[in-house]
């Protein structure tokens, strides 16, 4: 527990906007469904509570969900006092919470790869791996931010969709906001158009909240305004996050991303996704193979438990959509910006990452 506590103190000293942290022998996490008007913090010692928080969107964002794979296995090891069978069961539970989130699945598998022995020996192994993963995630955010900022020019207006910022990562900038934040810190004069992102309004509630906190000029728009703005020359770049990237570069991201990518292509606006090498799923050849999570239709017909449509209205909620690789100008990673042909450039990235492990 000492290594974890030291890591959390280090993160807090860096003034990161932490979505999840361990303190006083409990795991704490911000309820992202209540932001920005209420900062409610959940605390637990039970991995089942964490799994539910992932499933019901209390914790969301590919980076944060990925780190939950580490936090969850660590919590299970502590909760069970190092019972390997319980830890393995917790791994299966966590992987079932969000089927599109490859980061979570990969992280759980990586954690379980060191899950041997029992008792204090098992806990120590898992704690060490948890620290390694959390440090790596934060380093990824800074590195991909620097690489992506090279794509941003002084005076650019950047459109982003959904929320892939600090609270969706490990506290710095997650995915897209790592790029935007680095460009801002470099002194570039930028402006961000953030789409509200129905039905949870992550862009309005959380992206705008973070942009304000970081002092980055921004304007909130509804999801269906992006094409108009691009057609009027108001947007120079589109930068979004990613929940999974297929081996050929097809992108799974929050539903609505595909619509923005089509508008960008039609108007000659470069469209980028910011991700980590960990989010690239080389076991999936193309986007058509990615399982898209369908959520409860009531999330479309109501907002914060208030109905917004007549009773009995049918609704549909695919949580993600697939953006074909031909619409993507570049895939921003911690190892550089990958460009077409993506099948070969992503394979080269895979080989580079593997050679450094």
Contacts of 216 (CB under 8 A, 6+ apart): 180, 181, 184, 190, 192
Burial class (CB in 10 A: 0-12, 13-18, 19+), 191: middle
φ/ψ of residue 76, rounded to 5: -65, -40
Q: Cite the DSSP H helix spans in 215-256.
A: 226-231
State the CB neighbour count (10 A cutoff) for residue 102: 26
Contacts of 291 (CB under 8 A, 6+ apart): 99, 100
Yes or no: say if 330 and 338 are a contact pair by the CB < 8 Å rule. Answer: yes
Yes or no: say if 150 and 176 are a contact pair by the CB < 8 Å rule. Answer: no
* Residue position matching structure tokens 């980076």: 63
Q: What is the bridge-based pairing of β-strands 302-303 and 306-307?
A: antiparallel
Distances (CA, A) of 112 to 33, 67, 89, 107, 125: 30, 14, 11, 9, 10
How far is C-alpha 280 from the chain's CA centre?
A: 13
Kindly name the residue from 243, 281, 296, 321 that is annotated as catalytic.
243
Distances (CA, A) of 335 to 142, 214, 282, 331: 11, 25, 16, 10
Asked if 31 is an active-site residue, the reply is: no
Catalytic residue positions, numbered: 243
């Amino acid at each position: 527990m000492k290594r974890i506590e030291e890591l959390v103190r280090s993160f807090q000293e860096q003034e990161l906007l932490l979505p999840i942290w361990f303190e006083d022998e409990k795991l704490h996490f911000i309820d992202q469904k209540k932001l920005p008007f209420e900062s409610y913090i959940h605390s637990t010692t039970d991995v089942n509570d964490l799994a539910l928080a992932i499933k019901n969107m209390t914790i969301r964002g590919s980076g944060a969900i990925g780190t939950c794979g580490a936090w969850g296995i660590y919590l299970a090891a502590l909760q069970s006092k190092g019972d390997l069978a319980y830890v393995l069961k917790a791994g299966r539970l966590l992987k079932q919470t969000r089927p599109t989130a490859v980061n979570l699945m990969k992280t759980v598998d990586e954690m379980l790869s060191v899950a041997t022995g029992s008792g204090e020996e098992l806990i120590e192994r898992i704690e060490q791996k948890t620290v390694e993963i959390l440090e790596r995630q934060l380093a990824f955010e800074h590195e991909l931010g620097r690489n992506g900022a090279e794509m941003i020019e002084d005076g650019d207006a950047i459109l982003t969709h959904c929320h892939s910022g600090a609270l969706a990562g490990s506290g710095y900038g997650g995915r897209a906001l790592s790029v935007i934040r680095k460009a801002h810190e470099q002194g570039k004069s930028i402006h961000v158009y953030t789409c509200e992102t129905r039905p949870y309004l992550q862009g309005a509630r959380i992206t705008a909240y973070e942009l304000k906190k970081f002092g980055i000029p921004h304007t909130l728009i509804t999801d269906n305004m992006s094409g108009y703005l691009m057609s009027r020359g108001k947007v120079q770049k589109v930068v979004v996050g990613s929940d999974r990237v297929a081996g050929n570069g097809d992108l799974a991201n929050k539903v609505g991303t595909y619509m923005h990518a089509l508008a960008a292509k039609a108007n000659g606006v470069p469209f980028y996704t910011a991700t980590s090498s960990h989010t690239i799923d080389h076991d999936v050849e193309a986007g058509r193979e990615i399982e898209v999570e369908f959520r409860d239709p009531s999330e479309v017909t109501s907002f914060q438990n208030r109905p917004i449509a007549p009773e009995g209205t049918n609704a549909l909620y695919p949580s993600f959509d697939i953006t074909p690789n031909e619409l993507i100008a570049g895939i921003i990673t911690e190892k550089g910006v990958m460009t077409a042909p993506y099948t070969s450039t992503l394979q080269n990235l895979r080989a580079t990452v593997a050679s450094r492990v």
